[in-house]
Chains A and B, each alone.
Chain A
Amino acid sequence: MTHLFKSEKVQYLCTCGSLKPLCRTFFCRHCLALKCGDCVFHEVDILYCSNCLENVPPGEARVKKNQCSECFECPVCDQLLLTRATNIQVPSTEDPSKLVPKKMFYLVCGFCRWTTREAGLPDQPSATGSWPDSDNANSARVAALLEHYRSLAQLDKFEKEQKRQLKRRSNYLSFTADKYSLSALAARKRSGLPFSGSLGMKKETPQIYKVESAVAFEETDDMLDPEIFTKVLNLSFVTTIDQRIRQSERQPVKSEDLIPIHKFLSVRRSQRCRFCEHNLSKPEYNPSSIKFKIHLGAFYHVPDVIIFRNSRDDMQLRLCNRSQYPTHVRLLSLDQFSSIAHSKIEELESSFGEAEKEKKSSSSMVGHELCESPATQAANFRSCLTNALKEKVNAFFQLPSEQILLPARDDLAEYELTAPQNLKDDPKAVLWRKGNKVVVSTPLTVLDDELEEKRAGFVFEFGAVRAGFETKEVQPQPTNVYIPVFISLGKI
C-alpha cells in the first residue's frame, strides 16, 4: 500500500527542512506541524519474536540477550529452521527386552538443507529442544577482570572523595577563624550534615580484587598446519565471514562447527514529537495486532495532492482530504505565503512581548503551552519560510484564489453515484468533485525553459483542529496550517 502512495514526485516540506512523500511523515496535532521519521524520537515499545509472535518483557529479553529461546535460524543461510520429528526404537522402561517407538526431534533448514545432525548434535526428545547455547570459554576470566577493574575504579573514586572532603574541611577551618564572625553560621550549617570522615566514622578503603596478569607465550596460537601446503581445500567445509561473525564469540572456521542460532527479537517502535514530546504513533501491545493506539500519520490529517493531468496548459491536481473533519483549503504561491508569514511573525512577536510580561519562560512550559506559545509559532513560521525559499523551482502554478471546501472522509460516499452539488465552486478552478476529492485546474507558467526537469511549488493553507480542543464544550476553532509542497513535473 505504501508503494502506491510513496511517490517521489509530490513532496511535502517537513519541519526539519527535508522533503518527504506524505505517507512517510507524521502530523503532530499538538504542534500542528509535519514531522518526518528523521526528526522524531523513536522509542522501543515492545519486544517480540517475529516468528512465534511471542511478546517478551524487557527484563526477560535482557537475560536472554534479545534472543527468542524457541526459534532458531540456520547458521549457513539465515533462514528459519524447521523442527522435524523422527521415530526411533528405544528399550521400554517397563520391560527392557521390548522396543517402543519414541519421538525425537531435530532441526532442518528448508532452504539449504542444513540439519543439526550435520553439526553432530544429537536429536532432542522435546520439540523445542535443549540445543546447546554457544557459551564463551573465556567468561570466567572476563568476569575476574571485570571485578578487578571495578574495585580499582571504586578505590579511585574513594580517593577522590577523600581529597574533596579534606579540602572542604580546611575551608571550614578558615571560617571558624572567626574573622568575619561567620563561625556560628558555619556551625549551624554543619550541624545538620551527616557525619563524614572526621568522627571515627571513616569509610573503609575499598579492597582491590586481585587478578592474575595474563601470560604471554613465545609460541603464537596460529601456527600453520603443515597439511595446508599439500591438502586440497574443500571450500564447502570452510565458513564464510558472514557465518563466522554471526556467532561472534566462537567464529567457527569449519562448517561442521556451526550450531543453530537463536532468532533475534524484533522491536515495535513508538514515535514521539521531538518538540512537544507527545506520542505520534503507538502500536498496540499485542504483537499479532497491526493496529495502533495512536497513529498520527500525516496521510490521515493533511490533504493529499496527486498530479491528475500533467501538461503545460492543462495542469490538473487532485486534492483529497482523508481526515475526519471537513476543511477549507487554499493554495498559495510561495510569494503569497512569504507575505502572510511575515505578517504572522510580526503579529506573534508582538503578542510574544505581552506573554513575556507574564513572566513565562519557555523552559517552564510543557505540552500545550509550549506548542501554542507565540514564540514557538513565530520560530516555526520563520524556519518554514527559510526552508521553503531554499528550494529551487523553475515553474509556477496559476492557483485558484478562492478557498476550496474539502469534505470529511466518508466511506459511504464512495458508493454514491452522484455527488451532492450544492457547493458553490468556481467552475473555472474546480473541475470535478466527488466525496472528499477535488480536482483543481492549475495551469503552469514555465520560467526557465533551459532546465529540462520542471519543478513547481505551492503552499497548502488548511484548517486543522489542535488536539485537546475536541473535548471542550466550545466549538473547536480550526487553526490555519501552512505546509509547502513541491512537485516534480518532469520534462514537459
Chain B
Amino acid sequence: MPIHDNDRHAVVLDVGRAYTKCGFVGENEPRVIIPSKLDGSKKGEGVYLHEYSNEKELHFNLVKFLHHIFFKYLLVNHRERRIVIVESLLCPTEFREILANVLFVHFEVPSVLFVPSHLVTLYTLGINTAFVIDIGHEETTMIPVCEGTPLIHAWQAQPLGAKAIQGRLESLLLLRAKVQGSDGQKVDLVDVIPKLSRGILEDIVVRTCFVTTLPRSRQLVASRTNEAGPSPPVPPPTILYPLSGNNNLTLDGSVREESAEVLFETDNEMVSLASMILDSILASPIDFRIPLAENLVIIGGGSMMPGLKSRLVSEVKDLQQHPKYLSRIALKALKVHRPPAKSNYAAWLGGAILGATEAIATRSYTREVYLQTNHVPDWNNLADNTKEIDSRAG
C-alpha cells in the first residue's frame, strides 16, 4: 500500500487531559487545538475524555471524538493514514489500549506509532540530552532524557498542574470574593454560586492570573506566618470579572497573584515543582546532572502562565541552598531551552518531526500485527521488554 507518498501525510495526535492537538506530520504547528471533550451532552458542559466511569464509555467517547477530528478538522480518510500518537510514558495503560483498539478496529488505520512525549520534545531542539518538564492540566511529569534515552527510574510526577491552580483559585474566590450586582450591592460569592464551573475558572486563570516573583512570594509567606513580620506586598489592582447576567465578580489582586503559589508551596514532605526537579536530577547518573540542569525544557499548556518559567528557575536555585540538597548537588547553572513552538504543542511538534522521517515506516505498529496479537507493546510490560524480543525486532 503506497501510504508514505506525499499525498497522504500521517496524522499526529496528542490527546491531552484538557486539550487535544492534532495535525499532520512535517507541519510547523497543529491544524487545530481543541478541548478534549465531547460537546452536546445532557449536562451542558460537555464530557472530558479522561473523565470516564468504565471502558465502554471511554470507547464510545473516543469513537465519537476521533470521528469529529477526522471529518471536521483534518478532513481525511482514516483508512489511508498512518497515525502518530504523542503520549506520556506515564499514560494509563487502559486509555492507551482502548485508543489503540478504537484506531485499529473501528477506524481501521493502517498503522499507529506511539511516541513518548518527553523524548520527542527533544526533536524540536536537535539535542540528545535534556531535562523535560511537562506541566499539564492534571499533573506535572518530569523525565530526564540522556543521550536519547528517557531515564524512567528518575521520573517525577505530582498532581501540580493547571487543575491544581484552578482548584486553589476556586477556594480563594469562595473565601474572599464578592459579587457585585447591578444595584451595586456586594454579596459573598459563596451565597451566589456555591461552585464555579471549570470553564470560568480556566478563563480567570488564563486571562488574569500570573506567577509572582520569588521575593514577593517570600514576603507574602512571611507576612502570613509571622504577625510581627513584614507587611504583605501591595497587591495588584482589583478588577471586575463579568459573570452571568448583571453580576460582576470582584477579582482581588491578591487572588490573581496567589493562585499559582500552590505549585511552589512545600508541604511537610517538601514536594514542590522545584524539589521534583532536584530529586529527579539526583536520581540521574552523576555525569549527566550538570548537562541536564543546563538543558531544561519546560512544555505543556500549564507552563504558559506568565512568569512561571522564571519563577521555577529561581525556586530551584533557591532550593539548592537548602541543607537537604546543599551537600549532595552542585549545579553550575540552570538553563532553559526555547523550543520553536508554543509550549502547549511542543511535544506535538516533536511527534510531527519524527513522523515525517522513515521511522514511521519502520517503527510503526501495523494493523495486521495488532489484529493477530490484540495487544500494544508497552515499556512496562515484561512480555515486550525482554532482550530476545529486542534483538528480533532489530
Contact = CB atoms under 8 A, between A and B. Distances in A.
11 contacts: A41-B79, A142-B340, A215-B337, A216-B294, A216-B337, A219-B310, A220-B309, A221-B338, A245-B34, A249-B29, A251-B342
Contact of B342 (A65, A216, A233, A249): A249
A68 to B, nearest CB: 12
B358 A157 contact: yes
Contacts of B63: 38
A240 interface: yes
A231 interface: yes
Most buried by A among B208, B345, B353: B353
A139 interface: yes
Given A145-B123, A216-B295, A232 B239 contact: yes
Contact of A148 (B29, B126, B239, B333): B126
A142 B353 contact: yes
Contacts of B32: 245, 248
Contact of B310 (A157, A212, A220): A220
B356 A146 contact: yes
Given A148-B126, A153-B358, A230-B237, A224 B207 contact: no
A149 B148 CA distance: 13
Contacts, number: 171
A150 B362 CA distance: 13
Interface residues on A, range: 35 or more
Contact of A156 (B76, B333, B358): B358
A492 interface: no
Contacts of A141: 340
A150 B71 contact: no
A147 B342 CA distance: 21
Nearest to A155: B358
Given A44-B77, A62-B7, A223-B307, A150 B357 contact: yes
B73 to A, nearest CB: 7
Interface string A190-232: 0000000000000000000001111111111111100011111
B105 to A, nearest CB: 11
A90 B296 CA distance: 55
A266 to B, nearest CB: 8
Interface string B223-243: 000000000011011011110
A264 B71 CA distance: 12
Helix, strand, loop or mixed for chain A's interface?
mixed
Given A44-B76, A216-B337, A223-B310, A154 B358 contact: yes
Contact of B28 (A59, A214, A249): A249
B218 interface: no
B376 interface: no
Given A62-B7, A154-B358, A235-B208, A216 B336 contact: yes
Given A220-B313, A248-B33, A149 B236 contact: no
A109 B70 CA distance: 29
A405 B72 CA distance: 44
A328 interface: no
A224 B306 CA distance: 7
A153 B234 CA distance: 56
Most buried by A among B30, B216, B341, B349: B341
B342 A214 contact: no
A88 interface: no
B335 interface: yes
A67 B302 CA distance: 29
Contacts of B108: 41
A138 B28 contact: yes
Given A62-B7, A150-B357, A214-B337, A230 B236 contact: yes
Interface in B296-351: 296, 304, 306-310, 313, 333-342, 344-345, 349
A233 B241 CA distance: 10
Nearest to B240: A235
B310 A222 contact: yes
Interface string A119-162: 00000000000000000101101100110111011101100100
A241 interface: yes
